Amino acid sequence: MGIDPNFDANLEKVGEENGVDVWGLVDPPEKLGIHGTHVAVDYDICLADGACLENCPVDVFTWVDTPGHPESEKKVEPTYEDQCIDCMLCVDICPVDAIDVDASRD
């Protein structure tokens, strides 16, 4: 099951990390929530294969360390989500559907 495309309506914004909104249940290291708003990454299902980071034409993503998380020890942060051109490449390439892009969520 991938990221909830309606997370902004179904979850509470619980804070900010690295200048990016964080949504949902956060209880490190196991639960890290959804990071980002326009470009959102569900940290709890992200496998950190890096395909989104390597293929994004405008370099929206950066690596952040997530020590102890059961899926991976690092994640992609949508640090520059304001630069997103809505090409949806990251959404299409993510093997676990951990990314959602929606320009109406700014």
Which of these, 29, 38, 30, 31, lies nearest to 7 by C-alpha position? 38
Binding site for [3Fe-4S] cluster, by residue number, is: 46, 52, 94
Binding site for Zn(2+), by residue number, is: 35
Binding site for [4Fe-4S] cluster, by residue number, is: 56, 84, 87, 90
Binding site, by residue number, is: 35, 46, 52, 56, 84, 87, 90, 94
Report how far apart, in Å, the C-alpha atoms of 3 and of each of 11, 40, 57, 97 are.
12, 8, 22, 6
